[in-house]
């Protein structure tokens, strides 16, 4: 069973993530944890000093964290982006596509299920922040290169 | 119509494999029901009153004869020999076994069909005008745009756990045949300076708090469509309410923020997103458009039809509509036979319609939000043969848009959320107004019935709407008047206290009597209601 | 009386707790007293049932009659398709629901 999963080459961030409010008043924190109601955009001015953002999913059905992740990546954040909480193995593909690169689920994943999920979809319809070419780009290589 | 390429096919097949694996994990106990439920729902699999129910997507209501035949096959092999066409142009099966569901999805995939996102808090099947491509009043065929949105919304990673379900409709005519403004996002294709673009509405919907969507953008060019809609969804995903399921639809967000503020936020998001290269090149929409090009119409076909059979002539006048191409017609097949179950079709009927589509309609047919079927490319010379074939299987009812062409959700006979039965009420009303001459005299009259406030039967948009409620464990029915899902969209107003099952049938008759008494020449029921208001109807009902 | 109902996990069939297992016939349902919730949890965990819940019913000569119309329709089948109910041969079966 897997209780931590990382797709990064560097060591996972160890610094305890501070809350969103604490982060605002603490100029030296480098790890922050955001809850579903927090506005990820407020972190954008501080991105260069952040090395870990934990996005909490108190319940798996609350999808705000997917938008938060994409917003951070779209703004150029390259540090660790970790999904924590009620994260299910059937969600990790979508989370990877939104820019998450590490996972600390409340309930450990089964490695076989992780591998199967990650291998399943060879093609995707949307362009997101994960660098995968959507099918429209594959269909029209001449117009979408570069 | 659209055909899958290797990418579309591989994605749908991957989904089948994924669901097979998820089902196996559920049956083995690796997944709890709480964990499995959202997974099966995004594959259209509900647990309903009597069994699992599977909803299969019919993107923008268009399908081929081969696909239609597959729907019959599934009804025969895995269900109890029938299916139910829904108000979102889909089909659902009422008696599915969980253990069969992966095989059913695999069979659907062989004909380029699926059940992806037909339920759950995600972007649902895109709906459209059943006359797309064949009506003279459209600025373009809306279906390529709908297909582009279908692909974009399929497995959208950011929008799989929205606050609530999300329904999009695309039309392209001034006449709205798809209840566009009662969708979470409604798109009307319009022309500006010779260029087609999208006029976007947001925040419509039925349910507990019905709303007609306000316009949020008068024109989105084709090259911005995806990033604009993506921005509209992102604002909703972030700020739509999640504290109360009944306030979670986008209509509440748009209403609470106000259309202007919602629009402002979307524009702001859009300005950022437009930079990200999320939009496919226009060549992609052109590629899709290629599949929706006009078929090879024959020229020089006769426009006249032999009307000497009076029953045939009545059917033509009621169910057959003008086609943009001379010599052709649009045939509506009513799934509302007298006393039948609205939207239900047996596998034999489904097969027969598949045959007719192949033989007489360029291998294409449509499903309408009014739970009827359409053959869109019929030579007028073939109308009589089609009518005879339909009559043989009980599908030649000449009642399109008349009082017996009732939209009814499954209600308490099938649906676990229902308060009251819908179908029985539809049957009783259809029987009360059984005389076809009386129906024709009443003219266009859209009667819509929902078994609970979720409003799957579109009762808010009915000229006459009926809502089933639970009154201390007894079925009770509220009557509303004056709704419309068309281009003159409006929400019905409740007449007053509810009625029991027989009382509601009497009540419907009373309001139609008032209409007959008060109407002026050429007025439909809805027009008369709008002119004279609720009072005379109330007096007749409760006076 | 209180009876326990739910759906069979693999097939989705409506089932009723019959004392030593599940039955498709409501006539075989037994009074679960105040044990219903515990039973439901145990049987759900064992994957014998999905969506189990306890309802009120009245004992009659033909077996328990659920207090709410929704459960009576579940017990019999759709009233608009008598041929698909548990009593297809009995044209009066639908009356029991109302
Ligand atoms: S309106 Fe209510 S009763 Fe009817 S199908 Fe929808 S949820 Fe079920």
Strand order in the sheet with B344-346: B45-47, B52-56, B91-96, B82-85, B344-346
The distance of C22 to chain B (nearest Cα, Å) reads 15
State yes or no: pLDDT of B26 exceeds 90: yes
- What are the structure tokens assigned to A6, written together? 């990382």
Give me the pLDDT at residue A66, please: 98
Give me the pLDDT at residue A144, please: 54
Q: How confident is the model at residue A146 (pLDDT cuts 50, 70, 90)?
A: very low
- What are the structure tokens assigned to B263, written together? 């629009």
Q: Residue B455 CA: which ligand 1 atom is closest?
A: 1
**What is the ipTM for the molecules in this complex?**
0.97
- Residue A145 belongs to a domain: no
DSSP A12-67: PP-SPPEEHHHHHH-TT--EEEE-TTS-GGGGGGGGGG--EEEEEESSTT-THHHH
| CA B499/CA B506 separation, integer angstroms | 9
State yes or no: pLDDT of B53 exceeds 70: yes
Percent share of chain B, pLDDT over 70? 100
State yes or no: pLDDT of B231 exceeds 90: yes
Percent share of chain A, pLDDT over 90? 89
Residues of chain A found within 8 Å of residue B38, distances taken between Cβ atoms = 60-61
Q: Which of A70, A90, A124, A141 to mutate to test the interface with B (most CBs of B within 10 A)?
A: A90
- Identify the residues whose C-beta falls under 6 Å from ligand 1: B 409-411, 415, 417-418, 450-452, 454-457
DSSP C48-80: S-EEEEEEEEE--TTS-EESSHHHHHHHH--TT
Span B400-413, pLDDT tens digits: 999 999 999 999 99
**If DSSP codes are grouped into helix, strand and coil, which group holds residue A57?**
strand
Give me the pLDDT at residue A145, please: 46
State yes or no: pLDDT of B329 exceeds 60: yes
Residues of chain B found within 8 Å of residue A136, distances taken between Cβ atoms = 151, 280-281, 284
State yes or no: pLDDT of B60 exceeds 70: yes
Q: B258: left (phi > 0), else alpha (psi -120 to 50), else beta? A: left
Taking residues B393-406, what's their average pLDDT?
97
Give me the pLDDT at residue C92, please: 84
Tally Cβ neighbours within 10 Å of residue B525. 24
Taking residues B284-307, what's their average pLDDT?
96
For residues B167 and B127, is the Cβ–Cβ distance under 8 A? yes
Q: Which domains does chain B have, with CATH numbers?
A: 6-109 (3.90.480.20), 134-291 (3.30.413.10), 310-392 (3.30.70.3340), 407-542 (3.30.413.10)
Lowest mean pLDDT among B24-28, B31-35, B478-482: B31-35
Give me the pLDDT at residue B176, please: 97
Q: How confident is the model at residue B440 (pLDDT cuts 50, 70, 90)?
A: very high
Q: Can you list the alpha helix ranges (DSSP code H) found in B100-242?
A: 101-109, 143-153, 225-239
Compute the CA torsion angle B59, B298, B286, B2 (nearest 10 deg): 30
Nearest to B234 among A67, A125, A140 (CB): A67
State yes or no: pLDDT of A28 exceeds 50: yes
| Helix, strand, coil distribution of chain A in percent, nearest 5 | 40, 20, 45
Of B80, B161, B146, B48, the closest CA to residue B451 belongs to B48
**pTM, two decimal places:** 0.96
- Residue A135 belongs to a domain: yes
Give me the pLDDT at residue C93, please: 86
- What are the structure tokens assigned to B16, written together? 């089948």
CA-nearest residue to B161 within chain A is A63
The CATH number linked to A104 is 3.40.50
**pLDDT per residue of chain C (98 residues) written in tens, 0 to 9:** 999 999 999 999 999 999 999 999 999 999 999 999 999 999 999 999 999 999 999 999 989 999 999 999 999 999 999 999 999 998 888 888 98
DSSP E strands in B232-327: the ranges are 320-322
Which phi and psi angles does B510 have, rounded to 5°? Answer: -60, -45
Give me the pLDDT at residue B186, please: 98
Nearest to C78 among B27, B29, B50 (CB): B50
- Residue A127 belongs to a domain: yes
Nearest to B97 among C12, C14, C51 (CB): C12
* Size of chain A in residues: 146
Question: A107 lies in which domain range?
Answer: 5-139
- Residue A18 belongs to a domain: yes
- What are the structure tokens assigned to B448, written together? 């819509």
Residues of chain B found within 8 Å of residue A35, distances taken between Cβ atoms = none
Span A94-124, pLDDT tens digits: 999 999 999 999 999 999 999 999 999 999 9
Give me the pLDDT at residue C91, please: 81
Domain count, chain A: 1
| CA A115/CA A137 separation, integer angstroms | 26
State yes or no: pLDDT of A27 exceeds 80: no
- Residue A146 belongs to a domain: no
Tally Cβ neighbours within 10 Å of residue A108. 13
């Amino acid at each position: 069973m897997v209780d931590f999963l990382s797709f990064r080459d560097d060591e996972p961030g160890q610094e305890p993530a501070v809350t969103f409010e604490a982060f605002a008043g603490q100029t030296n924190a480098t790890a922050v944890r955001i809850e579903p109601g927090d506005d990820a955009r407020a972190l954008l001015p501080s991105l260069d000093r952040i090395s870990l953002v934990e996005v909490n999913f108190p319940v798996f059905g609350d999808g705000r964290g997917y938008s938060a992740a994409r917003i951070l990546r779209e703004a150029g954040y390259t540090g660790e982006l970790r999904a924590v909480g009620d994260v299910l193995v059937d969600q990790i593909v979508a989370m990877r596509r939104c820019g998450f690169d590490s996972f600390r689920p409340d309930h450990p994943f089964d490695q076989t299920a992780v591998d199967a999920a990650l291998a399943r979809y060879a093609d995707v319809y949307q362009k997101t922040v994960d660098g995968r070419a959507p099918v429209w780009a594959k269909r029209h290589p001449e117009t979408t290169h570069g | 119509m659209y055909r899958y390429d290797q990418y579309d096919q591989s994605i749908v097949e991957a989904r089948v494999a994924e669901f097979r694996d998820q089902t196996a994990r559920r049956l083995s106990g690796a997944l709890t029901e709480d964990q499995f439920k959202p997974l099966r729902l995004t594959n259209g699999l509900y647990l309903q009153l009597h069994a699992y129910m599977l909803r299969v997507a019919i993107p923008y209501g268009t399908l081929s004869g081969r696909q239609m035949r597959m729907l019959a096959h599934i009804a025969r092999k895995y269900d109890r020999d029938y299916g139910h066409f829904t108000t979102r142009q889909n089909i659902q099966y009422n008696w599915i076994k969980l253990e069969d569901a992966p095989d059913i999805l695999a069979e659907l995939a062989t004909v380029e069909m699926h059940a992806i996102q037909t339920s759950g808090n995600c972007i649902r099947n895109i709906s459209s005008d059943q006359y797309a491509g064949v009506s003279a009043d459209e600025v373009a065929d809306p279906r390529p745009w709908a297909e582009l949105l279908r692909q974009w919304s399929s497995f959208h990673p950011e929008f799989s756990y929205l606050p609530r379900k999300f329904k999009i409709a695309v039309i392209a005519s001034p006449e709205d045949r798809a209840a566009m403004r009662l969708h979470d996002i409604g798109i009307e294709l319009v022309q500006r300076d010779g260029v087609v673009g999208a006029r976007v509405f947001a925040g419509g919907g039925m349910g507990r708090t019905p709303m007609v969507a306000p316009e949020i953008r008068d024109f989105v060019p084709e090259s911005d469509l995806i990033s604009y809609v993506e921005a509209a969804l992102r604002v909703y995903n972030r700020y739509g309410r999640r504290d109360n399921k009944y306030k979670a639809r986008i209509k509440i967000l748009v209403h609470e923020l106000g259309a202007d503020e919602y629009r402002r936020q979307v524009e702001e998001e859009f300005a950022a997103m437009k930079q990200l290269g999320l939009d496919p090149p226009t060549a992609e929409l052109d590629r899709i458009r290629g599949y929706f090009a006009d078929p090879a119409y024959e020229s020089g076909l006769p426009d006249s039809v032999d009307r000497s059979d009076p029953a045939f002539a009545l059917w033509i006048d009621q169910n057959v509509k003008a086609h943009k191409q001379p010599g052709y017609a649009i045939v509506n097949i009513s799934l509302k036979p007298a006393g039948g179950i609205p939207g239900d079709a047996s596998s034999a009927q489904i097969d027969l319609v598949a045959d007719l589509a192949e033989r007489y309609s360029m291998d294409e047919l449509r499903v309408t939000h009014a739970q009827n079927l359409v053959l869109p490319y019929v030579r007028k010379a073939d109308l009589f043969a089609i009518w005879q074939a339909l009559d043989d299987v009980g599908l030649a009812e000449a009642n399109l848009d008349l009082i017996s062409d009732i939209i009814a959700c499954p209600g308490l006979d099938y649906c676990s959320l229902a308060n009251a039965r819908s179908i029985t009420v539809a049957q009783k009303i259809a029987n009360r107004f059984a005389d076809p001459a009386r129906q024709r005299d009443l003219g266009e009259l859209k009667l819509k019935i929902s078994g609970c406030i979720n409003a799957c039967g579109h009762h808010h948009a009915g000229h006459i709407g009926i809502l089933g409620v639970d009154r201390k464990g007894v079925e009770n029915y509220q009557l509303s008047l004056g709704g419309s899902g068309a281009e003159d969209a409006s929400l019905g107003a409740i007449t007053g206290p509810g009625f029991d099952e027989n009382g509601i049938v009497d009540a419907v008759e009373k309001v139609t009597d008032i209409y007959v008494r008060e109407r002026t020449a050429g007025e439909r029921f809805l027009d008369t209601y709008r002119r004279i208001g609720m009072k005379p109807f109330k007096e007749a009902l409760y006076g | 009386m209180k009876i326990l109902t739910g759906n069979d996990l693999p097939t989705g069939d409506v089932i009723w707790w019959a004392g030593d297992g599940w039955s498709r016939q409501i006539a075989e349902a037994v009074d679960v007293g105040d044990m219903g919730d515990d039973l439901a949890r145990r049987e759900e965990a064992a994957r014998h049932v999905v969506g189990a819940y306890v309802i009120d019913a009245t004992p009659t000569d033909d077996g328990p009659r659920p207090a709410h119309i929704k459960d009576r329709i579940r017990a019999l089948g759709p009233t608009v398709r008598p041929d698909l109910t548990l009593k297809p041969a009995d044209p009066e079966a639908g009356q029991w629901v109302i």
